[in-house]
Amino acid sequence: MTLSDLTGRVNDLLCAANLLTWDARTQMPPAGAQTRGQQIATLKGLARELILSEEMRRACDKALVSTDGEDDDTPSRAEALAVSAAIAHHSRLPARLLQAQAECAPMAQAAWAEARARSDFRLFLPWLERTVMLAREQAECLGYAGHPYDAMISIFEPGETTASLAVLFDRLRAGLRPILAAARRADQPRSDFLFREYPEARQRAFAEDLAMRLGYDFSRGRLDTAVHPFEVSFTRQDVRITTRFNRNYLAASIFGTAHEVGHALYEQGIATEYTRTAHATDLIGLYAVGGTSFGAHESQSRLIEMHVARDPVFWQHHFPRLAGHFPEQLADVTAAEFAAAITRTHPGLIRVEADELSYDLHIMLRVEIEKALMDGSLRPADVPEAWNAAMARDLGLAVPDDAQGCLQDVHWSSGYIGSFPTYTIGNVMAAQVMDELRSTVPGLSSDLEAGSLDSLHAALSTHIWRYGRSLSRDRVLRRLTGRPLDPEPYLAHLAHRYALTFAIQG
Amino acid sequence: MTLSDLTGRVNDLLCAANLLTWDARTQMPPAGAQTRGQQIATLKGLARELILSEEMRRACDKALVSTDGEDDDTPSRAEALAVSAAIAHHSRLPARLLQAQAECAPMAQAAWAEARARSDFRLFLPWLERTVMLAREQAECLGYAGHPYDAMISIFEPGETTASLAVLFDRLRAGLRPILAAARRADQPRSDFLFREYPEARQRAFAEDLAMRLGYDFSRGRLDTAVHPFEVSFTRQDVRITTRFNRNYLAASIFGTAHEVGHALYEQGIATEYTRTAHATDLIGLYAVGGTSFGAHESQSRLIEMHVARDPVFWQHHFPRLAGHFPEQLADVTAAEFAAAITRTHPGLIRVEADELSYDLHIMLRVEIEKALMDGSLRPADVPEAWNAAMARDLGLAVPDDAQGCLQDVHWSSGYIGSFPTYTIGNVMAAQVMDELRSTVPGLSSDLEAGSLDSLHAALSTHIWRYGRSLSRDRVLRRLTGRPLDPEPYLAHLAHRYALTFAIQG
């Protein structure tokens, strides 16, 4: 078999694993959970075995030789390099460690769920200690140049390090401070109408309409309900999204849907010829996905959510349609009032409910703690104290209990350490891409003002989506914008948006 | 890894393949079909590779030695023998043949669909010729003692042969003849009310209620809609059924649901300790299933459909509930009239619409043709003529076109030759089991008359369901009834049922 045949089989296995996950979260009867985890583990384990097989190693070596001298950006060279990196990665992790992590995760998750329900950190502590110990062992196996946290970050966001993030985050903190301070001083816009009663069926009808208008192709996907919304794909031919409906908060389903549509456009937009290839497969994370990194993926979801669907211009065109779905609930609301309401700031304790201005502070807090756990400068037992101190320092908030503090996120209990930075990278990249496209693509801004996303879709497809994983995130950004990740457009976007919101209010 | 670990992984792969199939038929967006077939093929191909792996062979040899001297019925011996038979089976089939069959099937199915739509057999003929040629090659690879058709039958119904079926079918034909003749002479009961307008939502509500009352455990399953209803499982923890709703024919969803519930009870009823074992995996057919053969599986669906849900006693208890769902449609109907209507006979051209009395004649016609195709005494080009002649001879019907004749079934275009006999084996076994249980299980018949299925469920669980595939169909039957497959109880059941129906009418 050729390298492409071999990676095609890995993609098939991981697409199947994705479907088992989608089904578990949207369709599966409760008792199915008992055997589903093992089924997914077997599929991923076999994918890893195929990557480490003699046949794959031989095909990879051959491809490395035959593409030697090609630019790393050519699809064939990129494929050989991706497979080679995956073989190296998986070779370094002993089966014993993977087994220990696989056994730890479900028990850690159960303990975390109980700890959060009772707001009792002590119930989770032994499992956090074990998760951190295994992550530190994993970092030692994988190796790193600077800091053990680097090994974890690189799984989710190749190219980023503890040091590169420190530079990024320092600039963000400094830039966010005056915008946040101004936001706190300003009167907040009216938002009472968002909390009226919105029947689920009509929210669903609007969400489907919205997804379609944002460019989601329903002939290659579907929209379901899930407790924690997500997007998942089984090749570009079948890319599914989920959302949730809160009867008394209209914004949840609208912006949750827009966010997942952003992820889905990336997956639906990968070039057809990359179907079932390494360019549509995370061979290190063992996940069928076309986005080139977690951060790049988040950039597309945040671009659609924040730069399209939360743009006041968008609601000039779509508010009448929304009001048509909810004529009683929105009878006393204008498009401008709606746009202002969805931009109000309200720093709170919970990350997933955070507004655009404070979201990154939640992320930076977690990254600070993860880094300290990885180098041993923070003991797991001291996480609540560190969390609460950082929350007081960064957001000026007192944490009343650990359920609303360090127990709020599922990530650590799932064994994920190192994924949080990608949320902020996504925010930064979204603004950088949008800023570049607005200034270089003729007609893009005027099309958006006229209510058309066609120019935007075409530009994102040309510069980002179609490449899949064949170009790294850094290469995508450099090709498009001429420079690496840069926080300035993001800070400028926030300053502009919140100045605008206050102006409307004022 | 132990033999159980290794077969557990095979089961995981095949459960995943089952989920991909379920999803394709109930949830998948249209465009997903383009990559789904390859994903399922990869999962089944890897399952086959695992079965043929050195590790599996060694573990199997070891298990054969360590269980040597044990009765073939012990779970550990049965596991070793099942794996050994699967290794032998798959070893005999060259990759080249499997590849040719895998490539033929989708094209044959597309050609068949078009041929049926246009009622033009010539469009399908080249693909039928290729399918038959490949099946004959497969039979030569697998080997057989008597007739090449034996090799195909044994994939679906181990133990049966062309010769054993000839004996069974001769007896059935002889026994059915007088019952059919009497049925044709009799006046048919009134059935007009079955064809009134029955809104789908209310049919669904009744189908769910019916499934639950028939014993289906919704905490380990779900009921969806599909064009061709089926049951499928991903371990006993998750056994799903589908049905279809015909707005103008009430019986379709009721008895379709009852039929699939019968299949599902078998899968939900396998012993917990057989989860993820060879006893819940068809290692030859590469299919995750707990039923011990296709015929045994069909026996449970037909038992619930024909001996429970079409029994007039059942409707004494459940007709008021049905009439409660459809008060207008059934206002002028009694429970006895309903029971008679669902037993009316009406020999027709289409197998899937056939009544209980003529169904087996449809099967025997197909088996006669499959046998002749396999030994070369019938050329594929002559199938329409042979079909139409047999239909005139057995059912006295003229076939107006091939769409209603030899193009009506999907089986041959899918590469399935040899599965048809299992429908009749299911009918025969269902009656034999039911007859035995009625005469030997104290209280079973009176419980059924009182509207309780508890004794029946307990007996089926004890004698059939819990064993999964650890006992062959023949052993299940011999242990329970003391004899092999025997058509007499089936003929007695039909004679009794139709005499009763005519008596009601008379």
The ipTM (two decimal places) reads 0.94
Beta carbons of A473 and A157 less than 8 angstroms apart: yes
- The predicted structure's pLDDT at residue B346: 83
pLDDT tens, position by position, A90-102: 999 999 999 999 8
Residue B30 with chain A: CB contacts under 8 Å: 219
Q: B28 at the A interface (CB within 8 A)?
A: yes
* Chain mean pLDDT for chain A: 95
CA dist A368 and A351 (Å) reads 15
Q: Do B220 and A46 touch (CB under 8 A)?
A: no
Residue B235 with chain A: CB contacts under 8 Å: 32, 34-35
- Tell me which residue of B37, B61, B57 sits closest to B49, measured CA to CA: B57
Between B392 and B187, the more confident residue is B392
Average pLDDT over residues A203-228: 97
pLDDT tens, position by position, A33-49: 989 999 999 999 999 99
Q: Do B238 and A28 touch (CB under 8 A)?
A: yes
Q: Do B46 and A42 touch (CB under 8 A)?
A: no
- Tell me which residue of A459, A501, A411 sits closest to A155, measured CA to CA: A411
Q: B38 at the A interface (CB within 8 A)?
A: yes
Side by side, the strands of the sheet bearing A239-243 are A223-225, A239-243, A231-233
Q: In the structure, what pLDDT confidence band is assigned to residue A503 with cuts at 50, 70 and 90?
A: low
Average pLDDT over residues A430-441: 98
The answer, yes or no, to whether residue A22 has pLDDT greater than 90, is: yes
List all residues 6 or more positions away from B442 whose beta carbon is below 8 Å from its beta carbon.
none
The answer, yes or no, to whether residue B471 has pLDDT greater than 80, is: yes
Q: B15 at the A interface (CB within 8 A)?
A: yes
Average pLDDT over residues A351-380: 96
The answer, yes or no, to whether residue A504 has pLDDT greater than 80, is: no
pTM for this prediction? 0.95
CA dist B94 and B341 (Å) reads 52
Q: In the structure, what pLDDT confidence band is assigned to residue B503 with cuts at 50, 70 and 90?
A: low
- The predicted structure's pLDDT at residue A184: 83
| CB atoms inside a 10 Å sphere around CB B2 | 10
- CA-nearest residue to B38 within chain A is A12
Q: A47 at the B interface (CB within 8 A)?
A: no
Which one-letter DSSP state was computed for residue B472?
-
Out of B13, B19, B20, whose CB is closest to A42?
B13
The answer, yes or no, to whether residue A166 has pLDDT greater than 70, is: yes
Residue B276 with chain A: CB contacts under 8 Å: 35, 38
Tokens of A56: 């794959």
Q: Do A238 and B35 touch (CB under 8 A)?
A: yes
Q: A25 at the B interface (CB within 8 A)?
A: no
The answer, yes or no, to whether residue B24 has pLDDT greater than 90, is: yes
The answer, yes or no, to whether residue B345 has pLDDT greater than 90, is: no
- CA-nearest residue to A22 within chain B is B23
- The predicted structure's pLDDT at residue A457: 98
B260 is catalytic: yes
Q: In the structure, what pLDDT confidence band is assigned to residue A187 with cuts at 50, 70 and 90?
A: confident
DSSP-based three-state secondary structure for B443 = coil
**Residues of A taking part in catalysis:** 260
Out of A39, A235, A276, whose CB is closest to B15?
A39
Q: A435 at the B interface (CB within 8 A)?
A: no
- Cα of A261 to nearest chain B Cα, Å: 16
- Cα of A27 to nearest chain B Cα, Å: 9
Out of B31, B45, B238, whose CB is closest to A32?
B238
- Tell me which residue of A321, A332, A211 sits closest to A260, measured CA to CA: A211
Out of A16, A34, A46, whose CB is closest to B237?
A34
- The predicted structure's pLDDT at residue B504: 53
pLDDT cut 70: percent of chain B above it: 99
State phi, psi for A331 to the nearest 5 degrees.
-60, -35
CA dist A36 and A33 (Å) reads 5
Q: A31 at the B interface (CB within 8 A)?
A: yes
Q: B39 at the A interface (CB within 8 A)?
A: yes
The answer, yes or no, to whether residue B64 has pLDDT greater than 50, is: yes
Q: A288 at the B interface (CB within 8 A)?
A: no
Beta carbons of A242 and A25 less than 8 angstroms apart: yes
Q: Do A238 and B16 touch (CB under 8 A)?
A: no
CA dist B501 and B189 (Å) reads 8
Out of B12, B38, B46, whose CB is closest to A39?
B12
Which contiguous run of DSSP H or E holds residue B84? helix B75-92
Average pLDDT over residues B311-319: 95
Q: In the structure, what pLDDT confidence band is assigned to residue A188 with cuts at 50, 70 and 90?
A: confident
Task: Identify the weakest region by mean pLDDT among A178-182, B280-284, B335-339.
Answer: A178-182
Q: B13 at the A interface (CB within 8 A)?
A: yes
Q: B35 at the A interface (CB within 8 A)?
A: yes
Q: Do B12 and A42 touch (CB under 8 A)?
A: yes
Q: B36 at the A interface (CB within 8 A)?
A: yes
Cβ-based contacts under 8 A for chains A and B: 111
Out of A15, A19, A32, whose CB is closest to B237?
A32
The answer, yes or no, to whether residue A205 has pLDDT greater than 60, is: yes
Average pLDDT over residues A385-391: 98
Largest Cα–Cα distance in chain B? 68
- Cα of B44 to nearest chain A Cα, Å: 11
- Cα of A475 to nearest chain B Cα, Å: 29
Residue B269 with chain A: CB contacts under 8 Å: none
DSSP-based three-state secondary structure for A240 = strand
- The predicted structure's pLDDT at residue A506: 43
First to last CA, chain B: 67
Report how far Cα B489 is from the mean position of its chain's Cα atoms: 20
Residue A12 with chain B: CB contacts under 8 Å: 38-39, 42-43
Task: Identify the weakest region by mean pLDDT among B99-108, B147-156, B495-504.
Answer: B495-504
- Tell me which residue of A165, A276, A258 sits closest to A213, measured CA to CA: A258
Residue B44 with chain A: CB contacts under 8 Å: none
Q: In the structure, what pLDDT confidence band is assigned to residue B506 with cuts at 50, 70 and 90?
A: very low
Beta carbons of B75 and B470 less than 8 angstroms apart: yes
- Tell me which residue of A9, A470, A18 sits closest to A234, measured CA to CA: A18
Residue A17 with chain B: CB contacts under 8 Å: 16
Q: Do B35 and A237 touch (CB under 8 A)?
A: yes
- CA-nearest residue to B19 within chain A is A20
Average pLDDT over residues B42-61: 97
Number of residues assigned to chain B: 506
Which B residues, 184 through 243, put their C-beta within 8 Å of a C-beta on chain A? 218-222, 234-235, 237-238
pLDDT tens, position by position, B375-434: 999 999 999 999 999 999 999 999 999 999 999 999 999 999 999 999 999 999 999 999
Could you say which of B260, B298, B337, B356 is catalytic?
A: B260
Q: Do B238 and A29 touch (CB under 8 A)?
A: yes
pLDDT tens, position by position, B224-237: 999 889 999 999 99
List all residues 6 or more positions away from B72 whose beta carbon is below 8 Å from its beta carbon.
B78, B81
CA dist A90 and B281 (Å) reads 31
- Cα of B288 to nearest chain A Cα, Å: 12
CA dist A373 and A152 (Å) reads 12
- The predicted structure's pLDDT at residue A122: 97
Q: Do B275 and A43 touch (CB under 8 A)?
A: no
Mutate to test the interface with A, among B19, B20, B54, B224 (most CBs of A within 10 A): B19
The answer, yes or no, to whether residue B179 has pLDDT greater than 80, is: yes
Q: In the structure, what pLDDT confidence band is assigned to residue B186 with cuts at 50, 70 and 90?
A: confident
Query: Would you list the DSSP string of A464-487?
Result: TGGGTTSS-HHHHHHHHHSSS--S
- Cα of A400 to nearest chain B Cα, Å: 38
Out of B15, B31, B221, whose CB is closest to A220?
B31
* Chain mean pLDDT for chain B: 95
- The predicted structure's pLDDT at residue A400: 96
Q: In the structure, what pLDDT confidence band is assigned to residue A154 with cuts at 50, 70 and 90?
A: very high
Largest Cα–Cα distance in chain A? 68
Tokens of B256: 């379709």
Out of A12, A42, A237, whose CB is closest to B42?
A12
The answer, yes or no, to whether residue A502 has pLDDT greater than 70, is: no
